[in-house]
């Protein structure tokens, strides 16, 4: 990893996000994106500091949905952070940018105006899920492999994994990988609320997302994007690039269980963890930290706890820190895996584990060391970043400290 870029509910860039995350701050607040009168859920984690005009001209802003705007901004940040000039070797640079929902805001707005036939000519390209990837490719001039996984909340971890595979197979030397989501809309929030998936702590938005806590009552919608620059090692070293960490392994699996509920025993998730470790040539004893998917749902957090113990062994699982940043960022859906991977990369580089905020009461089904409320200085040589999505999609990234 040689470059990082992000737009999150904690800030408009990576360093602001990291600073607020490790300080234990929350990005939660009342929804401002639409009028919430009558909604049972009126809270979210919005990317309030995003300034689209910094990254796109006025014409592009009219054509791009917010999720694509996020992606272009994060990609430009990552390119600059890596000291890359993508346009200088466009055929050897690709992009893999994921989403869960795509341009749902553009689609929702259009539906509201459909009776008057006031359809914007850019509607189709605004809501198509692959358009964040397309715009990143066009704006930066990357002509290598182009992908757009759409596998719910595992999507951007899979985007990183697909970029990793593209480099390993010799299809590219550099990949811009990540995900983007801008789903805080009337329709999407109402839909998730109808499923009883969202927290209803409307009177306390900063404390509503509480992974692993016994009082958790659902996730809080988040939004944003993250892009990571993956680079073939010799290519990075030849140009003297700063190397944050190395992506050493990637594992994917399916629960084959239920469309929205995880396997309570964590078998599919545990298999993805095992595969990531095997791909990296690592053993469970090598793991120093797990950045958990844990989104503050009753079944999901308990299932992931079971999966970590199943994959690593109970003794090992209890001996290492396991934290979820979703207490601070909410659940950024298709962008979550990339945001979390970026924060895991910094945890490795800086030997600091971010906290699980809003953790107050232990749940007997969640009995690991969740780094409650305060970040922790600890040596991190090997970390796992877990991402699990509706439909039973599981993706795990194994990341390692770069041997300088």
Catalytic residue numbers, as ranges: 153, 293, 331
Q: Which of 181, 180, 177 is nearest to 160 (CA)?
A: 177
Place of tokens 């004893």: 285
Per-residue CA distances from 350 to 16, 160, 224, 343 (Å): 15, 21, 23, 10
**Cα(38)–Cα(192) distance, integer angstroms:** 15
**Cα(162)–Cα(83) distance, integer angstroms:** 23
DSSP assigned state of 351: T
CB 5 within 8 A of CB 75: yes
Neighbours of 62 (CB within 10 A): 11
Q: Which of 389, 402, 401 is nearest to 155 (CA)?
A: 389
**Cα(291)–Cα(211) distance, integer angstroms:** 12
Q: Which of 86, 110, 93 is nearest to 146 (CA)?
A: 93
**Cα(200)–Cα(109) distance, integer angstroms:** 25
In sign, the C-alpha dihedral spanning 56, 59, 61, 63 is negative
Mapping DSSP to helix (H, G, I), strand (E, B) and coil, where does residue 44 land? strand
């Amino acid at each position: 990893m040689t470059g990082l870029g992000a737009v999150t509910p904690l800030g408009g860039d990576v360093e602001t996000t990291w600073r607020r995350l490790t300080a234990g701050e929350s990005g939660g607040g009342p929804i401002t994106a639409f009028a919430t009168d009558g909604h049972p859920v009126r809270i979210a984690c919005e990317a309030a500091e995003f300034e689209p005009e910094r990254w796109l001209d006025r014409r592009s802003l009219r054509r791009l949905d917010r999720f694509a705007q996020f992606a272009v901004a994060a990609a430009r940040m990552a390119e600059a952070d890596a000291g890359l000039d993508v346009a200088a070797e466009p055929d050897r640079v690709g992009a893999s940018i994921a989403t869960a929902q795509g341009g749902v805001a553009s689609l929702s707005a259009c539906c509201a105006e459909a009776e008057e036939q006031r359809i914007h000519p850019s509607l189709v390209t605004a809501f198509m899920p692959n358009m964040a990837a397309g715009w990143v490719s066009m704006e930066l001039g990357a002509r290598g492999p182009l992908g757009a996984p759409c596998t719910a909340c595992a999507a951007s971890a899979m985007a990183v994994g697909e970029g990793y595979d593209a480099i390993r197979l010799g299809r590219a030397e550099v990949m811009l990988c990540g995900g983007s989501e801008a789903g805080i809309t009337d329709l999407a929030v109402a839909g998730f609320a109808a499923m009883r998936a969202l927290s209803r702590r409307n009177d306390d938005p900063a404390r509503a997302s509480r992974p692993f806590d016994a009082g958790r009552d659902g996730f809080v919608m988040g939004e944003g994007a993250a892009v990571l620059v993956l680079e073939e090692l010799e290519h990075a070293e030849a140009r003297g690039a700063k190397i944050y960490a190395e992506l050493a392994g990637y594992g994917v699996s399916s629960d084959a269980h239920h469309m929205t509920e995880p396997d309570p025993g964590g078998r599919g998730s545990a298999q993805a963890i095992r595969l990531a470790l095997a791909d990296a040539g690592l053993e469970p004893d090598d793991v120093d930290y797990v950045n958990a998917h844990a989104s503050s749902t009753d079944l999901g957090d308990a299932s992931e706890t079971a999966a970590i113990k199943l994959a690593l062994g109970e003794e090992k699982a209890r001996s290492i820190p396991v934290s979820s940043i979703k207490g601070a960022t909410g659940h950024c859906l298709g962008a979550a895996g990339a945001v979390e991977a970026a924060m895991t990369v910094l945890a490795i580089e800086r030997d600091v584990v971010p906290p699980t905020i809003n953790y107050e009461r232990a749940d007997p089904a969640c009995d690991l060391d969740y780094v409650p409320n305060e970040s922790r200085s600890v040596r991190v040589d090997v970390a796992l970043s877990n991402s699990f999505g509706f439909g039973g999609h599981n993706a795990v990234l194994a990341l390692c400290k770069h041997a300088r």
